[in-house]
Chains A and B, each alone.
Chain A
Amino acid sequence: GEDVEQSLFLSVREGDSSVINCTYTDSSSTYLYWYKQEPGAGLQLLTYIFSNMDMKQDQRLTVLLNKKDKHLSLRIADTQTGDSAIYFCAESIREDKIIFGKGTRLHILP
């Protein structure tokens, strides 16, 4: 069945790069997404990538997509304390079916 998997925790020192990884199972997804959830809030779309792209860069964020391995990653350069949040990988299979991973909690060490 459709599934999106990601590790649950990541600790990174302030100023270092964070890399959050995700694997998905449905190769028919047109877009893949990264959502960010700050404490006490709902999810907010952070960035996305079209399935025919390998890479997308947006300021400090770099998304890499390996379609062959069904692997998606999010790199945050120069990680700041404000980046502390839960990051969800997601794929849209159709309008009523957006599969979210369980979320990776990013903890920033001083």
Chain B
Amino acid sequence: NAGVTQTPKFQVLKTGQSMTLQCAQDMNHNSMYWYRQDPGMGLRLIYYSASEGTTDKGEVPNGYNVSRLNKREFSLRLESAAPSQTSVYFCASSEAWTGFYEQYFGPGTRLTVT
């Protein structure tokens, strides 16, 4: 089992460029998440998908779009990158039993926007 995989690991973009961050999980989880992590800010939820075909906004969705391509894959798109989107992006997945939500995280994508 690879768990949660993310590509790319590192990316540098110029302001205004677009890119898609890819995430896949092989644990057959229904729920998938995108977070960003900034120094001193902890983790902030960008978007969430409870199941294939559904997506919902999290705390900081502006400037991002997502696609739940199938049960395995959940991508995050930056249409027009801005320096404020420089961050580390984590994808996570989980399955819930009676309220216990262990999230499994990918290794992260380190994005710099210049």
| Cα-based distance from A30 to B102 in the complex (angstroms) | 12
Q: Does A21 contact B (CB under 8 A)?
A: no
A43: nearest chain-B partner, CB-CB: B105
Residues of chain B lying within 8 A (CB to CB) of residue A92: 99-101
Q: Is the CB of A42 within 8 A of B108?
A: yes
Main secondary structure of the interface of B (DSSP, over half): strand
User: How many residues of B are in contact with the other chain, CB < 8 A?
Assistant: 25
A82 to chain B, nearest CB (A): 19
List A residues 1-37 near B (Cβ within 8 Å).
8, 30-31, 33, 35
Q: Is the CB of B105 within 8 A of A96?
A: no
Count of A-B contacts judged by CB separation below 8 Å: 55
| Cα-based distance from A71 to B34 in the complex (angstroms) | 28
Q: Is the CB of A95 within 8 A of B31?
A: yes
User: How many residues of A are in contact with the other chain, CB < 8 A?
Assistant: 21
| Cα-based distance from A43 to B31 in the complex (angstroms) | 17
Q: Is the CB of A41 within 8 A of B108?
A: yes
Q: List 7 A-B contacts (CB under 8 A).
A: A43-B92, A43-B105, A45-B102, A95-B50, A95-B94, A96-B31, A98-B45
Give A residues with C-beta under 8 Å from B: 8, 30-31, 33, 35, 40-45, 48, 88, 92, 95-96, 98, 100-103
